[in-house]
Amino acid sequence: MTEDVLIGVEGRVGRIALNRPKAIHALNLPMCQAMIDALLAWRDDAAIEAVVIDHSEGRGFCAGGDIRMLAESGAKDGREARAFFHTEYRLNHLLFTYAKPVVAFMDGITMGGGVGISQPAKYRVATEHTRFAMPETGIGLFPDVGGGWYLPRLEGRVGAFLALTGARLDGAECLALGLATHYLPSANLAEAKERIAQHPDRIGGILGELSVTAPPAAITGQIDKINRLFASDRYEDILAALEKDGGEWAQKELGALRTKSPQTCKVALRQLREGAAMPDFAAEMRQEYAIGSRVVAMHDFLEGVRALIVDKDNSPKWDPSTPEAVTDEWIDAIFAPLPPGEAWTPLT
């Protein structure tokens, strides 16, 4: 067991509360394993009718995975990083296929690994504090934990826009895009959890009663621009479209993309294109594990973590430094299936 996640039972509900407030509840391997163990135990327990996932305290639900550990491992043999990804993706898949209803409370920062444990839930609750993003292109990683499944299934080209820019969404925007199923004021969360514990057969009704009308979702006013300017699956085309447009919004997004890893942006576009056609979530996880096991040991991830997280100079030196230098062959090698003995497998 680990103190980084609090696991218990309240009424007829299994409760998982992330408990690393100083790290904004970023996931590590023991946390993922503890959640898997609890979910497996509750799966066949008739006394547990639903599962609630939230956080114990602090300003975020879950800021992602343990990035420093991944980079330190990637700089060596990558074994620890691969073990983390393998377990984390098994947790993601277990939640995605879980037979009992899961409620995720995305109150506060919900990024990366936090997206991976909230998006599989049947009920996804956003609040006025929600800040949702997949910011991986900024550190040379890629939108994993199922990003290749969820993002291309959003309206139009919004998924590609989010994957490339790492744009942050508020709770109202999450609701408008379907990333959240309900919008509750944070003041109502304690009552919601209390009532769900007593009446897990009425989750939808309880959340509906405690919901309020969300504020206007700013991103809905940009969807036409996103669909037009992010229309291509070719990264160079998107950059050219933004340059040609010349408008204030386009220039702002172009500036954001200029800070991202060209390699990662190309990986993300291909990941979303192929993810849209995946036969099931397990196939998506298998591919993301192959990508992750390679990218975690590559220059851009190690450099991105150095620049944004370790040294904090915010000046990563990407290599290749231009989109044109990231060849199709380069990306093909990242996406190649792993040998059978090394490939990701779901829990049996």
In a domain? residue 341: no
In a domain? residue 144: yes
Domain containing 284 — which CATH number?
3.90.226.10
Q: What is the per-residue pLDDT for 315? A: 95
Contact 103, 162 (CB under 8 A): no
In a domain? residue 92: yes
Domain region containing 126: 5-219+252-335
In a domain? residue 28: yes
Q: What is the per-residue pLDDT for 4? A: 96
Q: What is the per-residue pLDDT for 1? A: 67
In a domain? residue 239: no
In a domain? residue 235: no
Contact 162, 260 (CB under 8 A): no
In a domain? residue 18: yes
Examine the residue annotation and report whether 246 is marked as an active-site residue of this protein.
Answer: no
Please identify which of the residues 113, 138, 140, 159 carries the catalytic annotation. Answer: 113
Please identify which of the residues 144, 173, 253, 303 carries the catalytic annotation. Answer: 144
Examine the residue annotation and report whether 60 is marked as an active-site residue of this protein.
Answer: no
Q: Which two tokens stand for residue 41?
A: 């135990």
Please identify which of the residues 14, 60, 64, 65 carries the catalytic annotation. Answer: 65
In a domain? residue 236: no
pLDDT tens-place string over residues 113-138: 999 999 999 999 999 999 999 999 99
Examine the residue annotation and report whether 243 is marked as an active-site residue of this protein.
Answer: no
Please identify which of the residues 4, 88, 107, 136 carries the catalytic annotation. Answer: 136
Mean pLDDT over 148-158 rounds to 98
95-101 LR contacts (CB < 8 Å, sep 24+):
95/39, 95/120, 95/121, 96/120, 96/146, 96/281, 97/281, 97/346, 98/39, 98/43, 98/51, 99/43, 100/42, 100/43, 100/48, 100/49, 100/50, 100/51, 101/49, 101/50, 101/51, 101/200, 101/203
Q: HSE (CB half, 13 Å, CA atoms) of 342?
A: 14
Q: How many domains does the chain have?
A: 1
pTM for this model (two decimals): 0.97
Examine the residue annotation and report whether 78 is marked as an active-site residue of this protein.
Answer: no
